[in-house]
């Protein structure tokens, strides 16, 4: 038996895989202590914890600690002369033309950023050993002022962590209970601001995570769970609680990353063929545009040829990077709770303000009065106008109509036209955001399928697809719990990096290989400590490099370990990557600068088979309702299906609506829906 639990802002989702069957549980989140909702969901399953062999968990405690500024009071020791690296950042302004703009408050206020005389030069030599007396005095003063977690980040420590480690050792001796996070362990990569920020975020959220995981793990153990508690990381892998505590910032953004893994697993498991879009060369179930529409935002991700895009420039909020390689997800402010409003010049806008879960859309009658996308969907009857979640949340169509009319009246639009307008505007903003992502990557969206999930993704997926010329859409079996499902479909993973900074022409292959071996050893040691068998360990190698003179490096995934043959192949492989990324590449002999070496240590877990659904033949609408489809269609009497009544081989012609506990799928006219082998709905047009 396996359990995946993903904590979200509103709901905590649990997916249980037992005896080849998936079951889903949804409970309200408990923000003050998220473990309560986790345990409540566990209790709902009725499964004894002693029968569970894997418990995987996606948590938001770290991201919330930053957003709500609820982390540990944190101090920072820097090299003398560099106290303000954290605050100056890269000097960028968040709003180019706005005199009222301010950067967010730094996680360590200036008074708690203290300097230590020490220095390492740009070749990695210690030119000044740390003044331990000064370091101890500063740390003592900080603790005296209430600091309970400490970050250390010295200039050039990416080349040599000695000074940081010497200071840590001296402090640990006299302050053994003070958690200390040093940058050369957290992220030994050049660029002092990004490394400092990552280290500070770690120190700020680390104690919160440690305490939370301890509490949850103890509770699970008390109920008889006998294995490691596995925590989802934003790189798409799992880690034991102990490993997660070592690099706590890796847990930030892990829930959405799990969703991307689930998309890919569903694409791979599907027996459906996508329809090639007119004019495109191919479409494939492993080219995926992920569209997760939640209450406040839409998360967009891309999987190309079966690989999610990774990036290292993730910013938790403006000017707060966490520079680990993580699955790339772009958020825009368009969700079910996003508010439609008129500006002073009577122009209609959507968001970025959201009614969120509190006060929520007007139709929920919990205090919200402004019109949201959800209200529009209620007015149009795309959502059941009476209730959501099988009746758990009653809705008021009248309240939705009143809210929508409030923006429609000044524009002279009737309530239905206005509601349809809100829907069109939301769809178009999602379309524009997806277009920008694909243009940025040089990809043709028509070669992709859309996976629509989150509570509201399946409501709008076909319309987004229509606008982009995409003809195939996949709706996961349980769209509202896709991230929780992803937790069951991945491996243990740890990424390690070292900044190498040597020209290819000036190194022997053996030297590069030896540097990779060190990283691989580190990764292997981690995995072994986590109980992974040696024959289940795999290594993935990558290198950030650039042509000499370029300012930015590009990451090349290496097809295997670094040896003589790899050394020879690198210029060709990098040239191909450069061509694919930028549309041009220099001659083969162009000198290359090797910047960062990367190793991902992967501990393969048993992947469960996704259960197959029964054959169809029972599909029949349980009701009809009038639904507004706009354009020439207008109001159409539309059959309403229960998702659970559909089986493999059934085929439903749009217009139709398919309802289930956690989501509503709209099949617009011209589209068909067919459940695939594992229960994903495959929507096709044309």
Partner 1 sequence: MDPITLSVISNGFKSIVNEMNLALFRSAYSPVITEGRDIGGAVIDRHGRLVAQGDWDLAVFVALLEFSLKGVLARFDGDIAPGDVFIMNDPFVGGTHFNDVGVVRPVFDGDELTAFVAVCGHWADVGGQEPGSFVANAREHFQEGLRIPPMKLYIAGEPNLAVFDIIEANMRISSERLGDVRAQVGSTRVGEQRLVELAGKYGWDQVTGAMDEAIAHAERLLRSEITKIPDGRFKGEDHVDMESLDRPIPKKVALELTIDGDSMHFDFTGSDPESLSASNSTYSSTASAVYVTVKSLFPEIPMNHGVFEPIRITAPEHTIVNALPPRAISSMAATVYEKVIGAALMALSEAIPEQAVGTPYNLINLTIGGRYRDSDFVAYLFSEGGFGGRATKDGPPGLVSLYGGGAKITPVEVMERRYPIAFEEWALWPDSGGAGRYRGGVGSRKTFRIVDTSVRLSCLGDREYYPPAGVLGGEPGAKHGLIRNLGTAAEENLTLKVVGYPLQDGDTVTILAGGGGGYGDPLDRDPALVAEDVIQGYVTVGHAAERYGVAVDESGEIAAGETERLRASLRKGKTQ
Binding mask 188-207 for partner 1 (x = CB under 8 A): --xxxx--------------
Candidates 99, 105, 305, 535: give the one binding partner 1 (CB under 8 A).
99
Binding mask 366-395 for partner 1 (x = CB under 8 A): ------------------------------
SS3 at position 76 = strand
Using CA atoms, how far apart are residues 85 and 78, in angstroms rounded to an integer?
A: 9
Angle at 3 (CA atoms; ends 230, 254), nearest 5 degrees: 50
Binding mask 578-597 for partner 1 (x = CB under 8 A): ---xxxx-------------
Instruction: Tell me which H or E stretch contains 37.
Output: helix 34-45
Using CA atoms, how far apart are residues 47 and 55, in angstroms rounded to an integer?
A: 12
Candidates 436, 505, 514, 559: give the one binding partner 1 (CB under 8 A).
436
SS3 at position 230 = strand
111 binds partner 1 (CB under 8 A): yes
Using CA atoms, how far apart are residues 199 and 212, in angstroms rounded to an integer?
A: 20
83 binds partner 1 (CB under 8 A): yes
Query: What's the min distance (Å) between Cβ of 188 and partner 1?
Result: 12
**Which DSSP string do the residues of 554-617 spell out, in sequence order?**
EEEEESSS--HHHHHHHHHHHHHHHHHHHS----TT--EEEEEEEEEEEEPPPPPPPPPPPB--
Candidates 69, 101, 128, 172: give the one binding partner 1 (CB under 8 A).
101
Tokens of 390: 């099988």
Comparison of 241 and 277: residue with beta carbon closer to partner 1: 277
Comparison of 196 and 240: residue with beta carbon closer to partner 1: 196
442 binds partner 1 (CB under 8 A): yes
266 binds partner 1 (CB under 8 A): no
Candidates 84, 211, 398, 576: give the one binding partner 1 (CB under 8 A).
84
Site for partner 1 in 498-517 (CB under 8 A): 501
Query: What's the min distance (Å) between Cβ of 624 and partner 1?
Result: 28
Q: In the chain, what is the greatest distance between 2 CA atoms, to the nearest angstrom?
A: 80
Candidates 290, 294, 321, 421: give the one binding partner 1 (CB under 8 A).
421
Query: What's the min distance (Å) between Cβ of 368 and partner 1?
Result: 22
Whether 22 and 265 have beta carbons less than 8 Å apart is answered as no
Query: What's the min distance (Å) between Cβ of 590 and partner 1?
Result: 12
Query: What's the min distance (Å) between Cβ of 200 and partner 1?
Result: 16
69 binds partner 1 (CB under 8 A): no
Using CA atoms, how far apart are residues 306 and 314, in angstroms rounded to an integer?
A: 21
424 binds partner 1 (CB under 8 A): yes
SS3 at position 545 = strand
Site for partner 1 in 114-153 (CB under 8 A): 121-122
Candidates 331, 550, 557, 672: give the one binding partner 1 (CB under 8 A).
550
Using CA atoms, how far apart are residues 293 and 290, in angstroms rounded to an integer?
A: 10
10 binds partner 1 (CB under 8 A): no
Give the CA dihedral 451, 674, 480, 269, nearest 10 degrees: -60
Candidates 169, 392, 411, 518: give the one binding partner 1 (CB under 8 A).
411
Q: Which stretch binds partner 1 (CB under 8 A): 167-175, 373-381, 412-420, 636-644?
A: 412-420
Tokens of 342: 């008129």
Q: Which stretch binds partner 1 (CB under 8 A): 86-94, 132-140, 505-513, 563-571?
A: 86-94
Polymer length of the chain? 686
* Residue 18: burial class (beta carbons within 10 Å; 0-12, 13-18, 19+): middle
Using CA atoms, how far apart are residues 456 and 460, in angstroms rounded to an integer?
A: 7
105 binds partner 1 (CB under 8 A): no
668 binds partner 1 (CB under 8 A): no
Candidates 88, 268, 386, 393: give the one binding partner 1 (CB under 8 A).
88
Query: What's the min distance (Å) between Cβ of 543 and partner 1?
Result: 17
Of 152, 155, 191, the C-alpha closest to 172 is: 152
At 544, phi and psi to the nearest 5? -90, 125
SS3 at position 55 = strand
102 binds partner 1 (CB under 8 A): yes
Number of residues that bind partner 1 (CB under 8 A): 64
Tokens of 123: 């070749």
Candidates 413, 443, 507, 569: give the one binding partner 1 (CB under 8 A).
413
Per residue in 564-591, is it b (16+ CB within 10 Å) or e — as a string?
Answer: eebbeebbeebbebbeeeeeebeeeeee
**Which DSSP string do the residues of 484-538 spell out, in sequence order?**
HHHTTS--EEEEEEEEEEEEGGGS-HHHHHHHHHHHHHHHHHHHHHTT--GGGEE
Angle at 341 (CA atoms; ends 633, 409), nearest 5 degrees: 60
Candidates 10, 87, 353, 396: give the one binding partner 1 (CB under 8 A).
87
Query: What's the min distance (Å) between Cβ of 97 and partner 1?
Result: 4
**Which DSSP string do the residues of 361-395 spell out, in sequence order?**
-GGGTSS--S-BHHHHHHHTTSS-SSEEGGGTEE-
Q: Which stretch binds partner 1 (CB under 8 A): 100-108, 164-172, 177-185, 659-667?
A: 100-108
Whether 360 and 368 have beta carbons less than 8 Å apart is answered as yes
Query: What's the min distance (Å) between Cβ of 418 and partner 1?
Result: 8
64 binds partner 1 (CB under 8 A): no
* Residue 145: burial class (beta carbons within 10 Å; 0-12, 13-18, 19+): exposed
Comparison of 541 and 628: residue with beta carbon closer to partner 1: 628
Tokens of 176: 């053994």
Candidates 12, 35, 74, 156: give the one binding partner 1 (CB under 8 A).
156
Candidates 24, 41, 85, 459: give the one binding partner 1 (CB under 8 A).
85
91 binds partner 1 (CB under 8 A): yes
Candidates 68, 177, 344, 391: give the one binding partner 1 (CB under 8 A).
344
Comparison of 407 and 599: residue with beta carbon closer to partner 1: 407
250 binds partner 1 (CB under 8 A): no
Site for partner 1 in 18-57 (CB under 8 A): none
Candidates 28, 67, 95, 137: give the one binding partner 1 (CB under 8 A).
95
Candidates 286, 365, 417, 522: give the one binding partner 1 (CB under 8 A).
417
Comparison of 6 and 192: residue with beta carbon closer to partner 1: 192
Comparison of 444 and 517: residue with beta carbon closer to partner 1: 444
Instruction: Tell me which H or E stretch contains 307.
Output: strand 307-308
Candidates 146, 176, 345, 391: give the one binding partner 1 (CB under 8 A).
345
The contact set with partner 1 (CB under 8 A) reads 81-85, 87-93, 95-103, 109-111, 121-122, 155-156, 158, 190-193, 343-349, 411, 413, 417-418, 420-421, 424-425, 428-429, 432, 435-436, 439-440, 442, 501, 550-552, 581-584
């Amino acid at each position: 038996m396996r359990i995946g639990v993903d904590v979200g802002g509103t709901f905590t989702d649990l997916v249980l895989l037992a005896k080849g069957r998936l079951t889903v549980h949804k409970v309200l989140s408990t923000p003050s202590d998220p473990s309560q909702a986790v345990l409540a969901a566990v209790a709902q399953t009725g499964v004894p914890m002693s029968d569970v062999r894997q418990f995987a968990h996606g948590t938001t405690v770290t991201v919330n600690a930053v957003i709500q500024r609820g982390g540990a009071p944190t101090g920072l020791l820097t090299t003398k002369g560099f106290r303000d690296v954290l605050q100056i950042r890269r000097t960028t302004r968040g709003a180019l033309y706005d005199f009222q703009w301010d950067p967010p408050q730094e996680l360590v206020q200036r008074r708690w950023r203290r300097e230590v005389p020490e220095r390492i030069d740009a070749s990695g030599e210690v030119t000044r050993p740390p003044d331990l007396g000064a370091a101890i005095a500063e740390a003592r003063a900080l603790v005296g002022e209430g600091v309970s977690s400490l970050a250390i980040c010295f200039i050039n420590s990416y080349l040599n962590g000695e000074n940081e480690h010497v200071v840590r050792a001296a402090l640990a001796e006299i302050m053994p209970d003070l958690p200390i996070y040093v940058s050369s362990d957290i992220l030994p990569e050049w660029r002092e601001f990004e490394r400092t920020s990552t280290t500070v975020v770690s120190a700020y959220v680390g104690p919160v995570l440690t305490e939370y995981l301890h509490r949850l793990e103890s509770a699970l153990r008390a109920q008889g769970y006998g294995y490691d508690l596995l925590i989802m990381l934003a790189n798409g892998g799992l880690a034991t609680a102990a490993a997660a505590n070592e690099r706590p910032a890796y847990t930030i953004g892990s829930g959405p990353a799990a969703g991307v893994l689930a998309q890919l697993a569903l694409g791979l498991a599907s027996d459906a063929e996508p329809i090639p879009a007119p004019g495109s060369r191919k479409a494939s179930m492993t080219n995926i545009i992920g569209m997760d529409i939640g209450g406040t935002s839409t998360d967009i991700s891309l999987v190309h040829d079966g690989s999610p895009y990774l990036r290292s420039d993730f910013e938790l909020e403006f000017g707060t990077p966490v520079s680990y390689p993580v699955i790339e997800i772009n958020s825009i402010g368009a969700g079910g709770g996003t508010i439609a409003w008129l500006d002073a010049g009577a122009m209609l806008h959507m968001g970025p303000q959201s009614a969120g879960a509190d006060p929520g859309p007007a139709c929920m009658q919990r205090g919200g009065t402004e019109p949201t996308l959800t209200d529009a969907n209620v007015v149009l009857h795309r959502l059941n106008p009476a209730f959501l979640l099988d009746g758990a949340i009653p809705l008021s169509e009248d309240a939705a109509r009143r809210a929508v009319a409030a923006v429609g009246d000044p524009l002279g639009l009737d309530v239905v036209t206005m509601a349809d307008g809100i829907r069109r505007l939301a769809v178009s903003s999602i379309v524009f955001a997806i277009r920008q992502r694909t243009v940025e990557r040089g990809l043709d969206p028509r070669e992709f399928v859309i996976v629509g999930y989150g509570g509201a993704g399946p409501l709008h997926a076909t319309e987004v697809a229509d606008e982009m010329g995409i003809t195939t859409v996949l709706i996961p079996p349980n769209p509202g719990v896709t991230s929780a499902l992803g937790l069951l479909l991945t491996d243990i993973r740890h990424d390690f990096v070292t900044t190498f900074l040597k020209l290819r022409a000036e190194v022997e292959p053996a030297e590069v290989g030896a540097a990779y071996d060190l990283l691989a050893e580190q990764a292997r040691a981690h995995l072994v400590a986590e109980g992974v068998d040696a024959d289940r360990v795999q290594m993935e190698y990558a290198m950030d490099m650039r042509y000499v003179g370029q300012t930015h490096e590009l990451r090349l995934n290496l097809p295997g370990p670094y040896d003589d043959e790899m050394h020879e192949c690198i210029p060709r492989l990098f040239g191909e990557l450069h061509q694919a990324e930028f549309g041009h590449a220099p001659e083969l002999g162009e000198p290359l600068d090797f910047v960062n070496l990367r190793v991902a240590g992967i501990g393969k877990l048993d992947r469960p088979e996704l259960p197959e659904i029964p054959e169809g033949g029972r599909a029949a609408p349980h009701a009809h309702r009038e639904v507004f489809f706009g354009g020439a269609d207008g109001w159409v009497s539309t059959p309403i299906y229960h998702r659970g009544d559909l089986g493999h081989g059934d085929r439903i012609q749009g217009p139709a609506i398919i309802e289930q506990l956690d989501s509503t799928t709209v099949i617009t006219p011209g589209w068909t829906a067919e459940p695939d082998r594992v229960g994903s709905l495959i929507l096709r047009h044309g």
